[in-house]
Structure 1
Amino acid sequence: MLKSLFLTAAASALLMTTSAYAEAINADAPFVREVPPGSPATAAFMTLHNASDAPVRLVEAGNDLTPHTELHNHVVIEGVMQMRQVEHIEVPANGNVALAPGGLHLMLIGLESTVREGDEVALTLTFDNGETLELTAPVQPVMPMSH
């Protein structure tokens, strides 16, 4: 009886810790860029929020639309903007990071069908603390970047 009570208390404490911890990371306004038919890739954007007292890193992402997802950033090299894959995207403690056109974003690579405004894409984000965030992002048209 005592062993059962101890296991129940331990499981309850773990669940409370996990649920409180799971709410530390969330995403606002996720969306996937609408692209012309025949495009091999598209991008996903959002703002990631971290309500914990420690920074976390987005280290992996997946989606239900393409076979491959990469974390990317735009950099200017010799006056030319280029996309570069990055190993992680840091979300500061008690802060946020924007994934936006012209900056950090997720590349969804290997499109086999056209994505149109109104479609939805399931995204899975994995962080270095072991947390996983699953969300649905609507497909939206995005104006070209201006400089």
Structure 2
Amino acid sequence: MILVLLLVSMGLGFANKSNKTNAESKIKSLSTELAAQTDLNSRLLSNLKQLQSESDRLLKERQTISELNVKYKSNLDRIQNQLASELDSIQTLRQTENETVRNWIDTDVPADVIGMLKYARSESDHSNGNQAGAAASRLPAAMPGK
């Protein structure tokens, strides 16, 4: 019986040793997995911060573009209203019954004036692309003999 108890006790010792080895192996495996998950968590958190920063930048850019579009629309409306007003004024002048205004409208611009305006236009280019005599290019050519 002592032999049986000795054998059982040795078997239990081997079983305990085997269980201890299995437990240590399992702990090591879980520790490695925990480290990998912690590293993945850190990388994902970093990526999330970068994405949030990019999102904030894009929202700010969208707001700026929206403000520029509002200003553009406002300026365009103002310019279109001013153009309509000027065209109305021109139409009113064309239809006037005032003899002085009618004579002024019907008078041709002298060729010398047109030549001076064209010369001023070609000599006065500005760095911003505007030309002081740009209106001269829209003047009709003077009729010969006038």
TM-score, reference length from structure 2: 0.26
Structure ranking higher on relative contact order (CA contacts 8 Å, 6+ apart): 1
Larger radius of gyration: 2
Relative to its length, the structure with more helix (as a share) is 2
TM-score, reference length from structure 1: 0.26
Relative to its length, the structure with more strand (as a share) is 1
